[in-house]
Structure 1
Amino acid sequence: MAGSTHTVTNQAPPLVGHDVFTGDRVLTAAVERHLAPGLREEALAELSGLGRSCGSLQSREWAVQADAGPPVLRTHDRYGHRVDEVDFHPAWHRLLGKGVAAGLTAAWTRPGGHVRRAAGFLMWNQVDAGTCCPLSMTHAAVPALRADPELAAEWEPRLTSQVYDRGLRPARLKAGALFGMAMTEKQGGSDVRANTTSARPLAEGGTYTLTGHKWFCSAPMSDGFLVLARAPGGLTCFLVPRMLADGTRNVFLLQRLKDKLGNRSNASAEVEFDGTWARRVGEEGRGVPTIIDMVAATRLDCVLGSAGLMRQAVAQAVHHCEYREAFGAKLADQPLMRNVLADLAVESEAATTLGLRLAAAQDAAEAGDERERALLRLAVPAAKYWVTKRCAPLVVEAAECLGGNGYVEESGMPRLVRESPLNSVWEGAGNVQALDVLRALGREPLAMDAYLTEVGLARGADHRLDAAIRGLLTELADLASAEGRARLLAERLALVLQGSLLVRYAPPEVADAFCAARLGGDGGAAFGTLPPTLDLASVVRRARPAA
């Protein structure tokens, strides 16, 4: 029973029971823009169904339960037999099953699949980013396995299946399968060429046994893994199945689970190989080129994942401020808070618009468009660098919009804050991305040509964007000593590309705010420093989650 003084007023209702897709004007416009007319109606209906699931109270409760009940490593059974299994909260399996059923691993099977899947993946990150790890790994394994047509024919139907078939059994007996990967070693980190895990050839062609230790193994409960190891011919990519064809367990020794800052519903492990059976993927000595398409796909997922976290943070902040009153007015109607919300909304829109544009480029590249493939080579590492870097400060600022309520676990904002740095670290931290940008600039002239063609589509539409393009060309004129300023180059490449997309596709008030603050130097380092003369009220209205 409540005390007589305990009357609850001036609190925002929970943001649940709504369609996360149709309530996101930026995302729906991007999907409509990048899908051919014949694909739109089905895709919009499908994504709206997923959006309702993402916005449901049930999904939110499952996410809280999975985060509060993290996975537990079970190395042995009650009789002392080594089993090396990971036990998850039931809510985890419900969430992962929803993601698989929604086609978040099936982009490769239908026209426009990458745009559709990108929109769904962006939304699913707003529910539980932990389950997005195995969904991303499984999705990204497909292009790597295509280096071996026989392996691809065997595994691709399982990986793109929309059936979540949990439990350890030989893959041939399962209706669907999940993939993880294990590349990082304790002595090398991102420098995979320092890997020491060895691969010894067996009599059967293409098969090996692996010996070594992996410092990070993503999604260790999966049915198979892509692994880098050193074969006689050099660093090579391998497929390691969790279960062998005869029904016995492969040697896959889980030494411990990582105790992580965020992403707590998901398991990340250290794993030991000791005579572990593996099948070669691609040629010996071509491990990095074989797995690079998987890396590119997961890096794009980092962009989409951060864009999803940013969107959820902005939606929660705008929703709260639309209801909360202080000093005689709604927070959203007060000029300074309106400036903060508008600035956050602009950043979120820029991230979503860029992520969906890159997904569309992936669809085009799959159809044989080499210019779009070249654009991805430069734009993906630049976007991965910049969007993931912007995620953490945006989420923290959005949590501050809720005041003390945003610091309380029940609001959901602390979980977003803990999650926000992950994508900046995963699949290569900031320096790795910036150096990859330099490699693309130095070795692949078609990539720069494709990028300049893309941003040039908006030339003449905004003087600040035009000036930024000229400044970028000046920076790119001297790449001989560019390593020390590689981060600045990556940032400017991403900002100019975002500016070009917003000038072409966003409402004038959004593009104006972005170009003023991000390209024209009219904003400060902190959020909430947009020029007050802009139409900020319209920007905030656009970001409001439509219930």
Structure 2
Amino acid sequence: MWADQANTSTPVLRTHSPTGERIDVVEFHPAWHALMGVAVGAGLTAEAWTSPLGSGAHVRRAAGFATWSEVEQGHLCPVSMTYAAAPALAANPKLAARWLPQLASRTYDFGLRPLADKQGALAGMGMTEKHGGSDVRANTTWATASAGGPVEGGATYGLTGHKWFCSAPMSDAFLVLAQTEAGVGCFLVPRVLDDGTLNPFALQRLKDKLGNRSNASAEVELDGTWGVRVGEEGRGIRTILDMVAATRLDCILGSAATMRAALVRAIHHARHRSAFGALLVDQPLMQNVLADLALESEAATVLALRLARAVDEGDTDLSRLGVAVGKFWVCKRTSPMVGEALECLGGNGYVEENGLARLYREAPLNSIWEGSGNVNALDVLRAVAREPRAVEAFRKEVQLGHGHSAVLDTAIASVDDTIAYAARPRAQAGARRVVERLALTFQASLLARFAPSLVADAFVASRLGGDHGLTFGTLDAGLSAHAARALVDRAFSA
């Protein structure tokens, strides 16, 4: 009910008070606040960064994030950005010491007030400008060094410019990119200054989006807006990439959760809908479709959680390449997967009441946010060409699945050839094929190690062995009814 209400009664922008003062606030339905209260109260924001490496905090947080994503996706945008702000703020220890306690708090404390007056805080980011989000070096927002302002622990600046896409504008602070004399810098921009005055942060309008409608996304005008530099001068892109890496992980988790939410609805419908004298779930062709969807969902989930474990263990080499690969592939597969699940319900899937229509609108988002497919594919090529330790970590990881089958062993052996191709100067045109192959081999290796042989065998045969068509529901026709039903029941217990 909260999810439906938050997406039906969408956010409303109030630029001025009744007496004409500029206030720039966004009002949300109470359901939004209820969803946020659960997410923050479960420690899904920055709490994991306060735990020592290897404690399992990021894996626990990932499981909670994925589970709660199945309920509603839009409100997890500010939750994700708050989680991701912590590693970026680490570039300025004084800033991190001041902000991390509230960003890691389990208290949801909505409203624009100074940080000292809040029990919990949320963070956002501002990178995208009118020319597009990928080429941030071309941003035109300008930061001018200043001498005044609240004490935050770093050089202070006044920022002027326009941010074309700024999600969750009611967050307490934003990491913003702007040009300086030394190059692009990264700045922490609070909504409210320490003395209680509003930082200039004019919300021009809210975006009318395809999906993610519960979450407000705004165009923002900065006019002498106070900010403090995070990280080295002129190295803002490098600084904010630590935030991007964490939000990309959440894109993978959120997409895997969207897949699972769609799969569960499809299986539930098939177990209760009869046609031509039998339940859909007992009919061979529907079993093939559902089993195929179940494989896709489980492979996405195991990949996402393995990457969360890499973060938990401080394995930046594996996460550097693995997250880029997973962000491309899992997010890219979500739209067709959700579309197929919707079709399992026929016309019932196309109406709003059962929630699949909302999932379908939501499905493309994570493939766009934090770098579209091409951006992530090119990021993989850069990592392969410039970061040999990341390549070696990836190679060692997939090698752990060796011995499962001749097909998987061949795929693992071909990783070196794929990486060699990716490192060629003119590999860009084939980047997507490179990432697809790496992603499928990674998923297959993980399933060979962590899933029953029934799942791993079917995934390897269909995704790597060529025993699959171009659509879902084209698993080997010789797959027994018992095996297909077992795959379905594993995905969603009867």
Structure 1 residue 102: deviation in Å? 0.8
Could you tell which deviates more after superposition, 237-246 or 187-196? 187-196
User: Which letter does structure 2 place at the counterpart of 1:526?
Assistant: T
| 1:363-383 CA-partner distances (Å, limit 9, x unpaired) | 000xxxxxx210111110110
Shift of 1:359: 0.3
Contact 1:225/1:239 (CA < 8 Å) preserved in 2? yes
Aligned residue identity for 2:427: A
Q: What is the CA distance between 1:532 and its match in structure 2?
A: 2.5
2:122 corresponds to 1:178: yes
Please give the alpha-carbon distance, in whole angstroms, between the structure 1 residues aligned to 2:389 and 2:133: 30
Q: Please, which runs of 5 or more residues in structure 2 have no aligned partner?
A: 149-153
**Counterpart residue type for residue 486 of structure 1:** A
Q: What code does the residue aligned with 2:455 have?
A: V
2:49 aligned residue: 108
Pick which of 427-436 and 317-326 moved more: 317-326
For each residue in 1:95-130, what CA deviation from the matched residue of structure 2 results, as whole angstroms up to 9, or x when unmatched? 111110011012212321110010111011111101
Residues 1:544 and 2:487 are matched in the alignment: no
The one-letter code matched in structure 2 to 1:334 is: Q
Aligned residues: 480
Q: Paired residue for 2:469?
A: 524
Instruction: Tell me how far apart the structure 2 counterparts of residues 124 and 159 of structure 1 sit (CA, whole Å).
Output: 19
Contact 2:395 2:415 in 1 (8 A): no
The amino acid of 1:323's aligned partner reads H
Deviation at 1:513, TM superposition (A): 1.0
Question: Could you tell me how far 1:474 is from its partner in structure 2?
Answer: 2.0
Tell me the residue number matched to 2:151.
none
More displaced 10-residue stretch of structure 1: 270-279 or 466-475 = 466-475
Corresponding residue for residue 73 of structure 1? 13
Question: What SS does structure 2 have at the residue aligned with 1:130?
Answer: coil
> C-alpha separation between the residues in 1 aligned to 2:493 and 2:330?
21
Map 1:85-234; keep pairs closer than 5 Å.
Answer: 85-105=25-45, 106-110=47-51, 111-204=55-148, 206-234=155-183
Asked if the contact 1:141–1:179 (Cα under 8 Å) also holds between the matched residues in 2, the reply is: yes
1:543 CA drift (Å):
1.0
Does residue 362 of structure 2 align to residue 414 of structure 1? no
SS in 2 for 1:201: strand
Kept in 1, the 8 Å contact 2:124–2:169? The answer is yes
What is the CA distance between 1:468 and its match in structure 2?
Answer: 1.6
Letter in structure 2 aligned against 1:151 = L
Question: Which residue number in structure 2 is paired with residue 508 of structure 1?
Answer: 453
- Dislocated runs of 4+, deviation >3 Å: none
The aligned residue for residue 260 of structure 1 is 209
User: Offset at 1:470?
Assistant: 2.8
Counterparts of 1:143 and 1:516, CA distance in 2: 39
TM-superposed deviation, 1:436? 0.4
Q: Given residue 264 of structure 1, which amino acid in structure 2 is its aligned partner?
A: R
1:525 and 1:108 map into 2 onto residues whose CA distance is 41
Q: AA paired with 2:23?
A: V
Counterpart secondary structure, 2:313: helix
d(CA) in 1 for partners of 2:492, 2:156: 55
**In structure 2, do the counterparts of structure 1 residues 63 and 256 end up closer, same or farther at CA, with 3 Å as the change threshold?**
same
User: Offset at 1:187?
Assistant: 1.7
Take 1:71 and 1:477, find their aligned partners in 2: how far apart are those partners? 49
SS at structure 1 position matched to 2:353: helix
Quote how far apart the aligned CAs of 1:469 are.
2.1
Q: 1:383 and 1:395 mapped to 2: Cα distance? A: 18
The alignment status of 1:245 with 2:186, answered yes or no, reads no
SS in 2 for 1:229: strand
Look up the match of 2:234: 285
Residue 337 of structure 1: which of 286, 311, 314 is its match?
Answer: 286
Q: CA–CA distance in 1 between the matches of 2:189 and 2:139?
A: 17
In the aligned structure 2, how far is the partner of 1:477 from the partner of 1:137? 35
Alpha-carbon distance in 2 for matches of 1:109, 1:146:
12
Deviations 1:300-351 (A, max 9, x none): 0000000000001111111111111111111111100000000000000000
CA distance in structure 1 between the partners assigned to 2:413 and 2:401 by the alignment: 13
CA contact (8 A) 1:209 1:276 kept: yes
Distance 1:311 1:98 in 2: 20
Gaps of 5+ in 1: 1-60, 366-371
Alpha-carbon separation, structure 2, partners of 1:129 and 1:440: 30
Partner SS state of residue 163, structure 2: strand
Shift of 1:545: 4.4
Amino acid at match of 2:50: T
Secondary structure at 1:129's aligned position in 2? coil
Query: Percent of counterpart pairs with the same letter?
Result: 63
Kept after mapping to 2: 8 A contact 1:188/1:194:
no
CA distance in 2, matches of 1:491, 1:240: 38
- The code of the aligned residue for 1:472 comes to V
> What's the CA shift string for 1:120-154, capped at 9, x where partnerless?
11011111101110000000000000100000000
- CA gap of 1:209–1:300, structure 2 versus 1, over 3 A, is same
For residues 161-189 of structure 1, give each alpha carbon's deviation from its aligned partner in whole angstroms, at most 9, with x where no partner exists: 00000111101110000001100111242
Shift in Å at residue 502 of structure 1? Answer: 0.4
TM-score of the pair, normalised by structure 2: 0.96
CA distance in 1: counterparts of 2:491 and 2:166, whole angstroms = 37
Q: CA RMSD in A?
A: 1.0
CA separation in 2, counterparts of 1:150 and 1:414?
Answer: 45
Partner-residue secondary structure (3-state), 2:186: strand
Q: Does 1:389 align with 2:332?
A: yes
Kept in 2: contact 1:319–1:545 (CA 8 A) = no
Is it true that 1:451 corresponds to 2:391 in the alignment? Answer: no
The amino acid across from 2:22 in the alignment is: R
Distance 1:218 1:228 in 2: 15
Is the alpha carbon distance of 1:63 and 1:545 closer, same or farther for their aligned partners in structure 2, counting shifts above 3 Å?
Answer: farther
Q: Indicate conservation of the 8 Å contact 1:141/1:226, yes or no.
A: yes
Question: Match for 2:363: what amino acid?
Answer: S
